[in-house]
């Protein structure tokens, strides 16, 4: 509880049944971890193959973990910190077939603001597979980390040239969009002490992307500073 504050929000999404639970404030964080620790009965399979701590603005941690011995087959967290080092946002995606169903995921209504404007452009450019348009949301300081839960491979893209390479390759992979869906989209503008962010859950099994999630963290100008992407793409298709 020393890492959280009343402004904290934890969003936990289960890929298995497309439901989510939201925990707000100190009381919510306490309930979240009390429930989690009860479920983690057998820690013999606990592993965290990727932990990336970044002090630069926005301050964040990107975590990949799993504990299949307790039913947590695949998990990922992105933590967003305030200037005091407290976790103000935590987006979590788990694959746990035994977890009870929760609530339907949230897709926020457009509110206006620089993050919403960038997200609207990104979403439209993604749908149109327009690489040049999508680059408008990034800068030379932007970083995209892509982790495949199936192959345990992490790829990092830094700067506009690399971002272009990332999306050129992704759009080539997404050859059949008939299964494309985005069941959860949360857009949050920056507030005092918290960077703007977007939490996205999507899939396109018709192109091999069985489950995917992105957490976007924005700079003060509404550009994407960091993007943490976790996919589940079978190994046979990952090399195509």
Q: How far apart are CA 102 and CA 104, in angstroms?
A: 7
Q: Report the candidate in 173, 194, 187 with the shortest Cα–Cα distance to residue 237.
A: 173
Enumerate the domain spans of the chain.
4-95, 114-238
CATH 3.10.450.50 fits 114-238, yes or no: yes
Mean pLDDT of the chain: 95
Residue 111 pLDDT? 86
Asked whether residue 239 carries a pLDDT value surpassing 70, the answer given is: no
Residue 240 pLDDT? 44
Q: How far apart are CA 82 and CA 65, in angstroms?
A: 23
Tokens of 179: 């299964």
Q: How far apart are CA 152 and CA 28, in angstroms?
A: 31
- Judge contact between 157 and 166, C-beta under 8 A: yes
- Judge contact between 102 and 176, C-beta under 8 A: no
Phi, psi for residue 36 in degrees, rounded to 5: -65, -45
Residue 236 pLDDT? 55
Asked whether residue 11 carries a pLDDT value surpassing 90, the answer given is: yes
Burial 215-230 (b: 16+ CB within 10 A, else e): bbbbbeebbbbbbbbb
Q: What is the pLDDT of residues 52-67, one digit of tens each?
A: 999 989 999 999 999 9
Report the C-alpha dihedral over residues 74, 80, 85, 86, rounded to 10 degrees: -80
Q: What is the mean pLDDT of residues 31-56?
A: 97
Residue 41 pLDDT? 96
Q: What is the pLDDT of residues 93-143, one digit of tens each?
A: 999 999 988 999 999 999 899 999 999 999 999 999 999 999 999 999 999
CATH class (in words) of the domain with range 4-95: alpha beta
- Judge contact between 157 and 169, C-beta under 8 A: no
Q: Do domains 4-95 and 114-238 have the same CATH topology?
A: yes
Strands 72-81 and 87-95, by their bridges, are: antiparallel
């Amino acid at each position: 509880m020393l890492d959280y504050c009343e402004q904290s929000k934890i969003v936990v999404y289960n890929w298995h049944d497309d439901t989510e639970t939201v925990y707000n404030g100190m009381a919510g964080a306490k309930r979240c971890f009390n429930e989690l620790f009860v479920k983690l009965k057998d820690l013999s399979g606990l592993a965290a193959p990727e932990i990336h701590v970044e002090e630069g603005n926005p301050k964040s941690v990107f975590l990949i973990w799993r504990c299949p011995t307790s039913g947590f087959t695949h998990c990922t967290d992105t933590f967003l910190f305030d200037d005091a080092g407290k976790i103000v946002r935590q987006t979590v995606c788990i694959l746990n077939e035994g977890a009870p169903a929760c609530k339907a995921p949230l897709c926020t209504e457009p509110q206006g603001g620089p993050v919403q404007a960038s997200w609207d452009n990104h979403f439209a450019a993604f749908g149109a597979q327009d690489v040049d348009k999508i680059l408008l949301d990034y800068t030379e300081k932007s970083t995209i980390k892509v982790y495949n839960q199936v192959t345990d491979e992490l790829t990092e893209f830094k700067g506009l040239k690399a971002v272009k390479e990332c999306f050129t390759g992704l759009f080539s992979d997404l050859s059949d969009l008939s299964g494309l869906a985005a069941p959860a989209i949360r857009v949050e503008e920056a507030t005092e002490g918290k960077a703007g962010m977007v939490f996205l859950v999507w899939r396109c099994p018709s192109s091999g992307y069985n489950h995917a999630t992105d957490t976007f963290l924005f700079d003060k100008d509404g550009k994407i500073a960091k993007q943490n992407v976790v996919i589940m793409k079978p190994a046979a298709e990952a090399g195509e």
